[in-house]
Chain A
Amino acid sequence: DSGVTQTPKHLITATGQRVTLRCSPRSGDLSVYWYQQSLDQGLQFLIQYYNGEERAKGNILERFSAQQFPDLHSELNLSSLELGDSALYFCASSVEGTGGYEQYFGPGTRLTVT
């Protein structure tokens, strides 16, 4: 158990819909990262937050957005869903700085768009 929690574990929805994925980082970790992994593919970095502020963006579509709240949990919002958005979405957290830079991953949310 990495200490990072993600809900829900599985999500099945229809095209055109909107969903919200939730992530709670490990206690003390200030950074949260979101990744997308399609079947048999590598990790695609989406976005990073550090202590409530957006710090880096990757290949995140305009239909996707995220935020990190004062209690440091984060949400990834996916809207106008398409079949190609079906993937495993990971959240990872890291304490960073003198505490180290290891990223710890949650179990992922498996999104299926039908």
Chain B
Amino acid sequence: AQTVTQSQPEMSVQEAETVTLSCTYDTSESDYYLFWYKQPPSRQMILVIRQEAYKQQNATENRFSVNFQKAAKSFSLKISDSQLGDAAMYFCAYRLSGAGTYKYIFGTGTRLKVLA
């Protein structure tokens, strides 16, 4: 069975600094997608970034980038130039390819605090 592990329940970062959130997953499949979602205090779930497993290039979205290591089954999120608005719970998620067939597997989340 596929699993997603976020081993850091909580992280802190100084404003303007860089922080990396860890995520590992377990799968025997080769065609899948990985995501990071952000849940701020409003509790809205917001898609931050996605990565297709078949792509070797790491995804980037403005200040957010991932380090995708397929062989190691690792998918970390790097937040550069951290801002107060980045304070949130971050969830890593995995999904197999296949329309209407599989569910998403979410990690337990990492709470990020940004210190002014």
Q: Which residues of A contact B (CB under 8 A)?
A: 2, 30-31, 33, 37, 42-43, 45, 48, 50-51, 53, 55-56, 58, 88, 90, 92, 96-97, 100-105, 107-108
- 7 cross-chain CB contacts under 8 A: A37-B43, A45-B104, A55-B101, A56-B103, A100-B50, A103-B47, A108-B43
The CA of A87 and the CA of B68, in the complex, are separated in Å by: 33
Which of A33, A37, A107 contacts B104, CB < 8 Å? Answer: A33
A58 touches B103 (CB 8 A): yes
Partner of A105, one of B33, B45, B50: B45
In contact, B103 and A102 (Cβ under 8 angstroms):
no
From A33, A51, A97, A104, give the contact of B103 (CB < 8 A): A33
B-side residues, CB < 8 A to A, are: 33, 35, 37, 43-47, 50, 91, 93, 95, 97, 99-104, 106-109
- A48 in contact with B103 given A42-B91, A103-B35 (CB within 8 Å): yes
Whether the pair A30, B45 counts as a contact (CB closer than 8 A) is: no
What residues on A are CB-neighbors of B103 within 8 Å? Answer: 33, 45, 48, 56, 58
Contact B101 A42 (CB under 8 A): no
In the complex, A108 Cα to B100 Cα: how many Å?
Answer: 22
